[in-house]
Structure 1
């Protein structure tokens, strides 16, 4: 059988893309190729579970547009499928004078992006988060929490009912061209397709190169490590408490996040992973690490961010340092309140000049679309990203 479109990657972006393609092209033969034995194993299953509001992102960017759209779609999807979700809101706290101008920039971005936001003085902050301390804060009431694994499972069930094939254990190892389109080699045999959509996450640049594309970025994996608040200290956090992010570093800083399961996560940090699926410090893939170290963009990035990177590595190894960062948000927290949690790995695209790509990056060709950078807030934005890709596919591939 020759499929009309093969989607490589069964994370939430791949599943949402397949869902949108089915809606746009109801008669198309679609297949999702997932290398693991179940979908949503990696980035989707290891994130904070936050439905982001869209406050952080530069007005006019893909992140701003698709996050705001995707947030609404995500709440609607969860309501339709009976998925646990809580619109608990988030506070972003400025704890030093130096952070106040950056807090105002975020506030103005929120307004520009059409996001509900409220500036808080300390007394009002105490009403929302009694244990948080700040000179000033922003309240983002449309921020929420969900288990994206549950969202992905609902998408997979929906796709199965709509006749979309989901092949697991189907890592794409080679891509060739035939008279009818593309031949994708997998351990389960060759898959033939006329068109390809690459949503491979941590391996998106690898799949692009297999397809003959020379992407202008490379994926560098960053591990984000979490602690959990001990059960008796969970009452210190009602919803979500975030710091003002460092404008030079596209990560949001360690924060406190209540989950739909009743836990409170603390983190994540951001440290270089020595494998694309390096969930532990000890996990090293020599070939992947060698490829990272051979990339000139990595060394330019390292020179640019060496102070931040060194501190993040120190904080990874020191519970006390992690606790001090959290103590800026909630002064009552100490290292004794923290228990080791899990970790995730973020696929961050890095340019040859060492800059961290700060927006979604989607590249089109005559027979393929490649999602080359889809870090946070991609889970929030996934349904909107899927719609965008489906629209690109109908235009680029000439399918109706």
Structure 2
């Protein structure tokens, strides 16, 4: 085994996955040099700071998949960490609701997956129990996951970065990685800092956690062309205060296999607000959170991606449905009213949209599982969709285990 007494690690990205990886490195290798690079001026500036804050229990994922395994481990680690750090966390519970008998078989299949994945205390419940748990919700059958929780993922990220710095690590904000080269001896990063000057730095190992830019970062180092990131925005609306207490927890639809995304649901936040959403539509820019700052480079990358056109051809019906929800707030809210009839006529205000870093293969199929690519001394997260935030600390364990085993690293003091 090799000592990491003088080794250096670069972590690219200070979202929750990058922060978790950096924390795992400083915890496991206290003598090593760990540097986190983040092109934004703050941590958690992108996907981590633009999501609904749900700690997923592991209901939907293919048993045995990386998602299923790391989600359950991630819940354990996330819960313990939030409690230790005083980060807001509430196990409010979740209901996946079937509105009609045709949805029952799909809901029963989700229940079977949840049981296979080891999700604790899940149960199928009828209308009476559904009304007891959520008096304002309706349905013919529901899956109850009592330990699904809500959290402040940005708060977790800040706490992780604080721990990295307390452990001797360094955070370099407003510093963009513009190139990565890898050889047998290590990795060279080219970065552009706040002064707009470029510099090169040598590291023994690099771990990329770049979210919306993950494919571009990996390709800098010689990674595969696919999967490629195709950005989809998700718009949430915040219900008016009069409807803030309409639910005790979370209410989700049964996923429809005819549509590529989950559908509109109701999500309680740790600050007490109630959200409706999200829709899902192509984003004209990987960081176009306002909807107005169209990214020409990002849009061109989508339009020249043959896989995207194959995806679009297969999902035209879904695109039309989502577009109507984008342009009509009433249509958007109607999706939630079907589950909670008392929302009829409710007022809601759109909040800053999130953008999903959705990986797509060359045939236009959405990549469902986590994807991690190893390129010698560099490792890149290529796909970490939901439950990526929930699983972040487990993903960090997994990556550091793999890097340690591959390169014979030993955490000598």
Structure 1 match to 2:208? 198
List, as ranges, runs of 4+ consecutive aligned residues in structure 1 with deviation greater than 6 Å.
none
5+ residue gaps, structure 2, are: 1-5, 194-198
Q: Give, in whole Å, the separation in 2 of the partners of 1:178 and 1:389.
A: 20
Structure 2 match to 1:354? 364
Q: Give, in whole Å, the separation in 2 of the partners of 1:347 and 1:3.
A: 31
Match of 2:116 among 90, 99, 112: 112
Structure 2 match to 1:74? 78
Q: Give, in whole Å, the separation in 2 of the partners of 1:99 and 1:112.
A: 20
Match of 1:86 among 82, 90, 103: 90
- 5 Å-filtered alignment, 1:1-400, equals 4-116=8-120, 117-177=122-182, 180-188=185-193, 189-400=199-410
Q: Give, in whole Å, the separation in 2 of the partners of 1:178 and 1:57.
A: 36
Assess if the C-alpha contact under 8 Å between 1:184 and 1:190 holds in 2. yes
Q: Give, in whole Å, the separation in 2 of the partners of 1:305 and 1:219.
A: 17
C-alpha distance 391-263 of structure 1, shift in aligned 2 (>3 A): same
Assess if the C-alpha contact under 8 Å between 2:178 and 2:189 holds in 1. yes
3-state SS, counterpart of residue 359 of structure 1: coil
Structure 1 match to 2:196? none
5+ residue gaps, structure 1, are: none
Assess if the C-alpha contact under 8 Å between 2:230 and 2:302 holds in 1. yes
Range 15-24 or range 386-395, more displaced: 15-24
Assess if the C-alpha contact under 8 Å between 1:8 and 1:199 holds in 2. yes
Q: Give, in whole Å, the separation in 2 of the partners of 1:105 and 1:161.
A: 46
Assess if the C-alpha contact under 8 Å between 1:250 and 1:358 holds in 2. no
Assess if the C-alpha contact under 8 Å between 1:219 and 1:350 holds in 2. yes
C-alpha distance 177-373 of structure 1, shift in aligned 2 (>3 A): closer
Render the CA deviation track for 1:273-299: whole Å, top value 9, x for unaligned: 000012133221111100111011110
Superposition RMSD in Å: 1.4
Structure 1 match to 2:3? none
3-state SS, counterpart of residue 137 of structure 2: coil
Render the CA deviation track for 1:145-166: whole Å, top value 9, x for unaligned: 1111111111111111001111
3-state SS, counterpart of residue 245 of structure 2: helix
Q: Could you tell me the TM-score, scaled by structure 1's length? A: 0.97
Question: How many residues in Structure 1 have an aligned counterpart in Structure 2?
Answer: 399
By how many angstroms is 1:23 displaced? 2.6
Q: Could you tell me the TM-score, scaled by structure 2's length? A: 0.94
